[in-house]
Amino acid sequence: MVRVRMADVAARAGVSTATVSMVLNGVNSTRISPQTQQRVREAAEAVGYKPNSVARSLRTQQTRMVGLISDTIASTPFAGRMLAGANDVAREQGHLVVLVDTERDAEAERQALHALNGQQVDAVIYACMWHRVVEVPPGLPEDAVLLDCAPAGGGRAAVVPDERAGGRVAVRELVAAGHRRIAFLDAEERFELVASRLRYEGYLEVLAEAGIEPDPALHVRAEPVAGGGRDAARRLLDLPERPTAMFCFNDRMAMGAYAAAHHCGLSVPRDLSIVGYDDQQLVAAELDPPLTTIALPHYEMGRWAMEVALGLRQADPEVPHLMPCPLIRRASVSPPPTQFGD
């Protein structure tokens, strides 16, 4: 199948390629008579002309491609939502996404940047799959947009989830249900999760605004997986004055908390209310009862980043844009059990 070129269209319509180009791109269209325009369009249709973007790109210095460098597309189910958001905006704008997965390898990053630079992509997005503070790799274009990470030195457009607000929303949901002894099942510090500190801050803020004295015994840490959540929750439930609600760092820990509650013969949410974080479909929605949780706005962040990258939206390079994390209300929160003496 031999490709048809603009010259073929021109020949068939009996005009020059310049005319074809103008007509097909709608440039200077007042200067071309309607009849000729018609003729050109028919010819293009007839020969099945498809413009060659490579040639166009060489001339216009625009490729309509955006490079998306990510550290790991593989190991998290979140990746997809971010890609989907970015991808949707790109498509709406007639752009294509070139994806490179570097697996956090500096050398791979350098190569990727090279390749993307060589391909003359119009913009670059640098995405992390966990909310992190990153050392911006050398060679990353000035106007690159950071997605789900903040630049260590500042000075770049970036978007991250508003974890602190998310923490507040989660704990407010529990306070509003009447809880006063609310535990926070946190991730261990060694994981260096930015989200951990921020969600904890949100937790403290709401306790303060509700006039609840934070009890240090209710802030426990564990590995942020189901097993860790189970152990941490068990410790909490062994407390003399045990919590009536738990805010968990993530849904997997919440899953563990469910198991611990079962083990202690407690029912969720009647005896224990639980709120998670992340809204992982496979966990949150499938638990019994379905888990009330805070969603990470991956799709929206992906959109935002692409919109900034394509110049559809302005960004303040000094401070990362905070994307709200919505509460997903399901069935794991209810008022605390009534006790004598209350």
| Interaction of residue 119 with DNA, rule CB under 7 A | no
Count CA atoms within 13 Å of residue 298 on its CB side.
Answer: 21
Residues in CB range of 231: below 8 A, 6 or more apart: 222, 256, 260
Q: Could you say which of 1, 33, 211, 216 contacts DNA (CB under 7 A)?
A: 33
Give the whole-angstrom CA distance, residue 32 versus residue 327. 57
Considering CB distances under 5 to 8 angstroms, the limit depending on partner class, which of DNA, a copy of itself, none binds residue 152?
none
Q: Could you say which of 222, 245, 255, 323 contacts a copy of itself (CB under 8 A)?
A: 255
Shortest Cβ distance from residue 255 to a copy of itself (Å)?
A: 6
Q: Which of residues 278-297 bind a copy of itself (CB under 8 A)?
A: 280, 282-283, 286-288
Task: Find, among 288, 285, 235, the residue nearest to 260 by Cα.
Answer: 235
Cα separations in angstroms, 278 against 42, 98, 126, 175, 184: 53, 27, 21, 20, 15
Q: Could you say which of 21, 70, 250, 334 contacts DNA (CB under 7 A)?
A: 21
* Diameter over CA atoms, the chain: 95
Q: For residue 275, which phi and psi values (nearest 5 degrees)?
A: -125, 135
User: Which residue, 117 or 281, has its beta carbon nearer to DNA?
Assistant: 117
What number of other Cβ atoms are within 10 A of residue 326's Cβ?
15
| Interaction of residue 52 with a copy of itself, rule CB under 8 A | yes
Buried b (16+ CB within 10 A) or exposed e, 35-68: ebbebbbebbeeeebeeeeeebbeeeeebbbbbb
Sign of the CA dihedral running 263, 264, 269, 273? negative
Q: Which of residues 56-75 bind DNA (CB under 7 A)?
A: 56, 58-61
| Interaction of residue 80 with a copy of itself, rule CB under 8 A | yes
Q: Identify whether the C-beta of residue 188 lies closer than 8 Å to the C-beta of residue 223.
A: yes
Cβ neighbourhood burial of 290 (10 Å; 0-12, 13-18, 19+): middle
User: Which residue, 181 or 230, has its beta carbon nearer to a copy of itself?
Assistant: 230
Considering CB distances under 5 to 8 angstroms, the limit depending on partner class, which of a copy of itself, DNA, none binds residue 38?
none
The piece of 108-116, 179-187, 194-202, 306-314 that touches a copy of itself (CB under 8 A) is: 108-116
User: Which residue, 14 or 60, has its beta carbon nearer to a copy of itself?
Assistant: 60
Shortest Cβ distance from residue 181 to a copy of itself (Å)?
A: 26
Question: Which residue type occupies 291?
Answer: L
Q: Could you say which of 24, 96, 136, 322 contacts a copy of itself (CB under 8 A)?
A: 96
Binding site for a copy of itself (CB under 8 A): 50-55, 57-58, 63, 65, 68, 72-77, 79-81, 83-84, 87-88, 91, 94, 96-101, 108, 111, 114-120, 225-227, 230, 252, 255, 259, 262, 280, 282-283, 286-288, 299
Binding site for DNA (CB under 7 A): 3, 5-7, 14-19, 21-22, 24-25, 27-28, 30-33, 35-36, 51-52, 55-56, 58-61
